Amino acid sequence: MARLIIKILPSLVMPLMPEGKRSQIEEAAMAQDRFGLEEILRAAEDAAPGESIDVVAANLRERFDATAVSFLFLDLVSQQVVRMADHSASLQDRNAEQIPLAGSVYEQVLRTQQLTQAPNDGQGQRVIAPVTNRGDAIGLLELTLPKVNEEMLERVAQAAHALAYIVVTDRRFTDLYHWAQRTTPVSLAAEIQHQLLPSSSCCEAAQFVLAAALVPADSIGGDTYDYTLDHDTLHLSVTDAMGHDLDSALLATLLVNASRGARRTGCDLTEQAQRTHQALVEHSKGALATGQLLRISLHGNRAQLVNAGHPWPLRLRDGQVEELTLHVDPPFGFPFSVDYRVQEFDLRPGDRLVLYTDGMRERQAAKLDLPAIIRDTIVQHPREVVRTLTATVTDAGQGQLQDDATVLCLDWHGPSREGRHTHAGADV
């Protein structure tokens, strides 16, 4: 099975990859024996899901003659990393070392996504590599090695990439990875909310890069974001259910599942909005929710949007940020008949689109200049943009937000070469 995974992974991811990236994947597949990826995957596959990281760590310790091997999880609120060492702590250990991210080498590696070397008090060399899958920064792989050369660094980077696939696969079967992320208590409302979110907060493809975040991650209740891809379309949504407690989390459950159910049965955007609205009218006992539903063609440069009482999107283009002042329809659940309008706006390669909930402008955060922050982070990856925006709002509220705050950042690269050739001139 491990050999099969190595062979089929490139064919699964290549359709969305640019040509340069595709060449890298092909070269990596050809070099599998040299890097030992098949051996790593086979060792992980033979272990129980809760033991695969320990097995991989032992494999790496032997292959690299490492004196220490650790996997560091990014915690739920993205403020710390939690160290899981192959010889001293398990994923279930509540006393595992917690390291603040701010100003650390770990923050640097997560931000740059570049393998980094660091001294280890004269006892060898620390090598820290990002463990990331399609832009989703899961954590870090850290090894202490007696000596380092270029080939060894390349092998460590490949091992970290393989480890990302192992974690993504195995976390479906165990709560151990969730335990490792819980450095603070999580409210019942937040527990419900997190189950509504996509399993990854970031996605990279040839046509776009997308990242999302919401705060406070340990006590949210009402905000959600969602995204998915099909062959031709990127589907996005941001919603904000009325209230800030368990009732709002239950309302969000109704909202998200009504929207997903309509989308998965092939409804167009108008019908998706209508079904979401009707679900709240029939079952929410008068509660309301604002939201935006979007569809973006992967083969064109047009986007469709339904705006149900939600703050306007912000678009960064050529260094300037503008509010897209589209028509605003009533919120979902409004107790009268509503005909939701599908509106269009253009996206050009190089554009950045930011969607957010009103918690980003709540009380203490009302004076924040969101367009200025978006301009100032123009060179950052969307993953870092959403982190900066949510951290700024949290700081403005002195760590105590009165409302949830959610932000979604989309960098639009435009149709892939194949898309331009096959669907030239296509719109949504």
Closest CA to 240 of 204, 193, 298: 193
Do residues 53 and 72 touch, judged by C-beta distance below 8 A?
A: no
Checking phi first, is residue 222 left (phi over 0); if not, alpha (psi -120 to 50) or beta? left
CA distances from 108 to 105, 166, 416 (A): 5, 24, 30
Using only the alpha carbons of the chain, give its radius of gyration: 22
Closest CA to 340 of 302, 298, 310, 296: 310
Tell me, what amino acid is at 180?
A
- Token pair for 92: 């279930």
Do residues 416 and 229 touch, judged by C-beta distance below 8 A?
A: no
Do residues 237 and 225 touch, judged by C-beta distance below 8 A?
A: yes
pLDDT by position in tens, the chain (length 428): 444 444 444 444 445 555 555 555 555 544 444 557 788 888 888 888 888 888 888 888 988 899 999 999 988 877 889 998 654 444 455 567 889 998 999 999 999 999 999 887 767 899 999 999 999 999 999 999 998 999 999 999 999 999 999 999 998 898 888 877 787 888 899 899 989 999 999 999 999 999 999 988 777 778 999 999 999 999 999 999 988 788 999 999 999 999 999 999 999 999 999 999 999 999 988 899 999 999 999 998 889 999 999 999 999 999 999 999 999 999 999 998 899 999 999 999 999 999 999 888 876 667 789 999 999 999 999 999 999 999 888 888 666 666 788 999 999 999 975 444 333 333 33
pLDDT at 22: 53
pTM of the model: 0.84
Q: For residue 201, list its beta bridge partners.
A: none
pLDDT at 340: 96
Do residues 135 and 383 touch, judged by C-beta distance below 8 A?
A: yes
Closest CA to 334 of 415, 277, 257, 409: 277
pLDDT at 282: 94
Q: For residue 127, list its beta bridge partners.
A: 117, 143
Phi, psi angle pair for 242, to nearest 5°: -60, 135
Three-state DSSP class for 105?
Answer: helix
Closest CA to 6 of 166, 143, 229, 115: 166
Task: Name the one residue in this structure whose structure tokens are 């490792």.
Answer: 180
Q: For residue 343, list its beta bridge partners.
A: 305
Tell me, what amino acid is at 300?
G
- Token pair for 325: 């002042």
Query: What are the helix (H) ranges across 14-51?
Result: 19-30, 32-35, 37-46
To which H or E segment does residue 221 belong?
none
Closest CA to 92 of 188, 168, 182, 166: 182
